[in-house]
Structure 1
Amino acid sequence: MVKKSSGSKSSKPPPRTSTSASKSAEGPASGATEQQSAAAILSPEEIKAQQKLLNIFNDTFREIFSDDEFDTTLQKVKQALFNRDFETAFGNEQFLEVYAARWSPGRALCYSRVMSQIRDELGPLILATSVADSDVPFEDEVEMGRFSPTVDLEEDERVSKSSDTLRMLAIGGGAAEIVAFGDYLRASSIVGDLTLLDTGPWAEVVQKLHIGLTTPPFLSKYASAAVKATNAALVEPATRLRSTFVQQDVLQLDSARLSKLLGQTPLLITMLFTLNELYTSGGIKLTTAFLRNLSTIIPAGSLLLVVDSPGSYSEAAVGKEAKKYPMQWLLDHTLLQADKLPPEGCEWEKLQSHDSVWFRLSDELRYPIDLQDMRYQMHLYRTTSRPSN
């Protein structure tokens, strides 16, 4: 069945960790510009690639879609998101699976498009190092899951010793991020080492999608010989994708723990529909402190990718009055004014910035339930070494 996409605001899915604020809110001007996405006009190859991602979600959550309680659970998740009751919405595996089946596929397609658009900037992060060399040492109290499907040991050793590696830390990351990252690996020969950090218990969902990315799709016994011969996993060999999930609040991480997550070599850090929620729920003061701490310990040459709802505002009390500030303004105010950062650590430069971008879905895509177009703002920053005095 062809699933129609819609550009109306009322049809947009509830965001993962953020909601759009009123455009009439007071605050520094954002200078918004509108950049139209060409996603609705896709080549046959692009549609095929996007359909593969949707198939992974469909196959992974096939039992969820067929569950008689799916619609009821979906309504409960929607209500919790509407009430901004994230503890309920993301508090158990059943709700997370329904959320991932409903809203993560569209996000994954969008995130994959964004990653492909910054491919040139990601190039310098790809390092000739084995997966074993990029292990992140966590303290015992940090809950984590490492997912490595059974593979041929000789192939495992060959990939580990010879392949370039791209490391990514997805703050607030889950189902959409791992699938988008897997798709980035699809068209390359590199190894991907992904760490997902979130307060929700996403480990089981992430593990299922990891398996879906690295295992050939299930085929009917009636499939033709030609189909069977070309049936392959999105990421092959399976050792090219390494994923780790850490259940932790990033705003509660001290410098030592955050440093262990970041490692010693340049990496991509993403906050995809996460940063504005940190500002609104965690507070501007605490989120600013986190960004400054990040600037102190992040390896030089790393990238920070921020994607969020356009027009996102956060409120802060200034004296006796409360004012709302655009998320982008808060981010630039923290990162791009070197005198406001700690004297040690790195400085930041902005590489790309778009205030409003449409991601439009093709009507040729197939999925069991409706998926909607989405609109987002995107900002990409790179760290540089602070010049010595």
Structure 2
Amino acid sequence: MSAFTVYFCGTGSHRFDDSNPNFWNGELIATLASHTGGREFVDWIVVDGPGSGNLQDDALFVDDGDHLKVTGTLFGTGWNENVQHALQVIKGKSNWARTKLTEQQYEHLKQAGIPIPDASAAGSWFWRTYDYGERAVTPQALQEQLIKQMRKPLIPSVVNLVGWSRGGISCHMLANAMVADPQLRDVPVNIFAIDPVPGVGNIQADRVQLGANVKEYVGFYARDERSKGFACVVPVTAFGTRMSIFPLPGRHATLVGNASADGASTGKVLPEPGMIVRHFAETCLKRWGTALDKCQGLDDQALETCHQAMAAADSQYLALRQQSYTAITEGSQQERIVHHGLNPTEFSKVANEGMQTKEGLGLRQLTCDSYQSLH
């Protein structure tokens, strides 16, 4: 089996957050990517989230248009291009490359003694611009060649998607883009989503519904998140998709390793939800064919200890419902707002007999047996 894995970072997050001090053991998506075996672009990619600062622009397989950080954070601009980038990497073919050298690249080559032409100036002294020359080889051309040589077969036999926040929604978008693509429509997809949140005004079918190409969907959701604009999505799936969703105490970032008392700063006060999510992300990815190392490997006793710690700290988790990343809260003290497909509803009401855990987000008491569907 040839598995390809895509890691979608959340809004404002990027691949270097495995060392972000706000996450006591590394932000989950960046950490999982850093622990993945094989070769980047050949076996896996990690995609920076909207509003993270365009750190990956130069390596994208599509032109993302250089979106502003603030619009990425507020509206998610750039995530359509992120999805298209991932789609092209899966197919092993870019449709864009930055062929012009930047000033930084030009200076680096000059300082290294590489024989390249001097930069040429154009325009008046006031509006002068510089041409730093052409790249001999673009990053995209290099990655395409590596994919062609090292990925056998070129089109993976299965694609595993992992994402947090808007990165979780990006998983939905990519799965739907794949089923609409003649080359990829028959490739099975597995999704592991952590508190997928699209943001205000972003409830469209391709973000909240999934096709029959998705064979398994696993989602973990933050029970105590109440920030305005942070309504999460439980997608409607096709008949036959194996679906398992779980509620965990904590805020949006708690589930990916922010263990602080307020769910936003530093500290290791409430680490258990993040530990559980990481453990089952590793469990599912390995079962789906992704090569991972440095796994937690929690056993049943360790999981039960986590459950006991969460129960003992329940009052601290409930207090998080007063916090907000956006200064305003939404929902009620008892219930978070959720979009089940296109329909808004209350958190605990998302459940049905077709789910592996029929109680869905209404599950009140987690035990080791609750996760049987994930092994």
Q: Which has the higher contact order (CA 8 A, sep 6+)?
A: 1
TM-score normalized by the length of structure 2: 0.28
TM-score normalized by the length of structure 1: 0.28
Q: Which has the higher helix share?
A: 1
